[in-house]
Structure 1
Amino acid sequence: MARGKRRKLKLLAETVTGDETTAAEDGNERLELQTWSDLPVELLDLIMSGLPPGDNIRASVVCKRWHKVAVSLRALYQSPWLMYFPKGGNLCELYDPSGRKIYPLELPELRGSRVCYTKDGWLLLYRPRNNSVFFLNPFTREMISLPNFQLTAQGVAFSCAPTSTDCVVFTLTQDGPLGVTISTCHPGESEWTTVDHPSRLPFVSSFWDKVVFCNGAFYCLSLTGWVGVYYLPTQYWKVLAVSPPRFPDNFFAKHWWKGKYMTENNGNVLLIFASNSENPVVYKLDRSALEWKELVTLHGVTMFVSFLSSHSGIGLPGITANSVYFPKVRFFGKRCISYSLDDYRYYPRNQQYNWSEEDPFESIWIQPPQDLLTDLDSGVGLGPRFSQMEFAPSTEV
């Protein structure tokens, strides 16, 4: 009886050992069959978010899973490009600061036109000869016309892409010491709506005003630093009781109409002053405290500033965070001038921006389409009007 029991236990032990051995072999076999394409999506996101655009494109051809992750990140994290307007003819240039490449582009639509503003990849243009106002997408060549309107000394902006039903074009001019004239128009309307609004506080308006759309309202920075807000839902105008921020020393003596920029990020209005004599100063508008708060960090945000309109972004491949990118390229396209709030200095070294020598109307930052880098890499759908000149990355520090 005992002998039979011991024999059964031995057979049971052998069976268990055999099962464990088989399980171990199966596990090893599964490990051997795993490849780089089996990486979890979360890990792929982490890896590819740190890749520059060129490596992102190369990684996207490894397999279908890698392609899906790479393209999604490419769409989310595409930095603005700097667009240089032609001084003659139709040829302009687009500079990609992340890939450090220049793309010449033929745009005959720019001839005789003045660029007023850009947002969501669209340009707002004005032709003084016949007072025509229209949108242009330089990447698709699509045009959307607005009713004729005389844009002389106005601050001008629009809320979103003109293909959206929410798009509103906004202009502002001064109407006496305590009043402004605001004109608005939706794409598809037959005429502009113009209304005079009183101001309880003085608002000195001019062509040099900065206008940005944020949280359903247009924020306007006057010549002397006061902020006016036009609330779209109620069509109400108000000058905020917010004292102007501190200007750099001698700012108005040399740079009263240059070196002043405003943009929006995550529902916040950001303002920057830059001069030759001091490092740039960045402020955030605190609506609750009714004051401008100076920022020592942008918390990962990068600002792309130009005279006509400015942009911001976060987590952009090939772009330095906590920095301000200016509309000037050095070393034959290798480096865009930027200022780091972390390092308290300009990059490249000894390339501080000289505001008094630059033409503020020669360039503007514009957001390219999400799939543009993919199309350029494959050469699909762009034709002879869009070519590429590539430069090696700079080692300047």
Structure 2
Amino acid sequence: MYFPMSRNSYEFYNPSNSKRHTKELPKSLAGSKVRYSKDGWLLMCKSISTDFVLFNPFTMDLVVLPDLELWHGYQLVGFSCAPTSSDCVVLIIKDYDPGHVTIRTWSPGETTWTSMQVSSQFLDAKRNYVVFSNGLFYCLNLRNSLAGFDPSLRTWNVLDISPPVCPDHIDDESWYEGKFMVGYKGDVFLICTFGNAEPLVFKLDLTLRVWVKKENIGSLTIFGSINSCESRTYVHEGLLRDSIYFPKLCDNENRCVTYSFDEGRYHPRREHNVNWGTQPSSENIWIEPPENALELI
């Protein structure tokens, strides 16, 4: 998905056939930004607001969440599954003072947020690294510390996990800016990019309590973007396995880019009729379409 500067519309792009489809945003969402995406839904709010909505850009369904009453924003957000499921949990994490983390959750049918505060030195986050896997929300901060929140038990734990090893020639800022976290059937992967260099992939090993570096991703295809990541073992004809797709590799790129581990190189998608322009890469996300997507767009 691509959101143009006007923010009154959005565009779907299918990298397997290069087709594009444009739809108008509901007037109430004009100027809103995507904060997280999962199961074909978007968690959105306006830049100066913390009034969140869940929006399905295919069916145009909207779920307005209760007022958060936050005066100073938030650090991390995410949700476990589509709000059409009673198992859906929306997560908002914020630190109000050093050493304390406030966690708010909401589920369908609730009229208020459930709040809890825990003693924790965890938060130091600029980007939204949140993955829901095996019943837990995994959250990564700027220092590469990993924490887990169990919404059923309402427990928060900073995990004793050794951080992934950063190459000596990569500065901390570059290491931070190009990270993506994604889950697949209970596994959690961390992808790190450094300009045009080969991306690094780490798989979380909770038994050994380390991030294990992977030389490839096997039959997986990963679609990585700042506010949404998807992973598949089955992809349509025209897409590559053992590869990572990026809407753009960095802000100065203007097209979809693919890295193939099998070939050990990037594939600029020059053959595709797509130009994202110079907007920040955070304005482009991957989203899972429903089976009848073509009927809806």
Place the TM-score, normalised by the shorter chain, in its bin: 0.7 to 0.9
Task: Please give the residue correspondences for 1:1-397 in structure 2 after superposition, counting only pairs within 5 Å.
Answer: 83-109=1-27, 110-128=29-47, 131-149=50-68, 150=70, 152-199=73-120, 202-249=121-168, 251-255=170-174, 257-276=176-195, 278-317=197-236, 318-328=238-248, 336-348=256-268, 359-373=280-294, 375=295, 382=296, 386=297
Contact 1:155 1:211 in 2 (8 A): yes
Instruction: Give the partner amino acid of 1:326.
Output: F
Worse overlay, 319-328 or 173-182: 173-182
Instruction: Give the partner amino acid of 1:184.
Output: T
| Distance change in 2, residues 1:183/1:205 (3 Å) | farther
Percent identity between matched residues is 41
Instruction: Give the partner amino acid of 1:103.
Output: H
Deviation at 1:257, TM superposition (A): 4.5
Instruction: Give the partner amino acid of 1:134.
Output: V
Deviation at 1:92, TM superposition (A): 1.7
Contact 2:101 2:123 in 1 (8 A): no
* Distance (Å, rounded) in 2 between the aligned partners of 1:198 and 1:312: 34
* Distance (Å, rounded) in 2 between the aligned partners of 1:145 and 1:211: 21
Normalized against structure 2, the TM-score is what? 0.87
Instruction: Give the partner amino acid of 1:148.
Output: D
Contact 2:190 2:203 in 1 (8 A): yes
Secondary structure of the residue that 2:160 maps to in structure 1?
Answer: coil
| Distance change in 2, residues 1:311/1:249 (3 Å) | farther
Contact 1:146 1:188 in 2 (8 A): no
* Distance (Å, rounded) in 1 between the aligned partners of 2:105 and 2:235: 34
Deviation at 1:89, TM superposition (A): 5.0
* Distance (Å, rounded) in 1 between the aligned partners of 2:269 and 2:286: 23
* Distance (Å, rounded) in 1 between the aligned partners of 2:168 and 2:269: 23
* Distance (Å, rounded) in 1 between the aligned partners of 2:51 and 2:106: 13
- Higher strand content, 1 or 2: 2
Instruction: Give the partner amino acid of 2:24.
Output: E
Listed one character per residue, the Cα deviations across residues 209-264 of structure 1 (whole Å, up to 9, x for unaligned) are: 40010000000011111100001221111111112101245544543542110010
Worse overlay, 246-255 or 108-117: 246-255
| Distance change in 2, residues 1:148/1:128 (3 Å) | farther
Partner residue in 2 for 1:39 = none
* Distance (Å, rounded) in 2 between the aligned partners of 1:191 and 1:205: 27
| Distance change in 2, residues 1:302/1:89 (3 Å) | closer
* Distance (Å, rounded) in 2 between the aligned partners of 1:315 and 1:131: 37
| Distance change in 2, residues 1:256/1:171 (3 Å) | farther
Worse overlay, 157-166 or 294-303: 294-303
Instruction: Give the partner amino acid of 1:88.
Output: S
* Distance (Å, rounded) in 2 between the aligned partners of 1:163 and 1:349: 35
Contact 2:73 2:94 in 1 (8 A): no
Secondary structure of the residue that 1:255 maps to in structure 2?
Answer: helix
Instruction: Give the partner amino acid of 1:365.
Output: W
Secondary structure of the residue that 2:231 maps to in structure 1?
Answer: strand
Segments of structure 2 that go 5 or more residues without pairing to the other structure are: 250-254, 271-277
Deviation at 1:152, TM superposition (A): 1.6
* Distance (Å, rounded) in 1 between the aligned partners of 2:140 and 2:224: 15
Report the structure number with the largest CA radius of gyration. 1
* Distance (Å, rounded) in 2 between the aligned partners of 1:342 and 1:252: 27
| Distance change in 2, residues 1:348/1:277 (3 Å) | closer
Worse overlay, 141-150 or 259-268: 141-150
Aligned residue pair count: 282
| Distance change in 2, residues 1:326/1:128 (3 Å) | closer
Instruction: Give the partner amino acid of 2:224.
Output: V
Normalized against structure 1, the TM-score is what? 0.66
Contact 1:299 1:322 in 2 (8 A): yes
Listed one character per residue, the Cα deviations across residues 272-296 of structure 1 (whole Å, up to 9, x for unaligned) are: 0001163100000000110000111
Contact 2:258 2:269 in 1 (8 A): no
| Distance change in 2, residues 1:105/1:238 (3 Å) | same
- Higher helix content, 1 or 2: 1
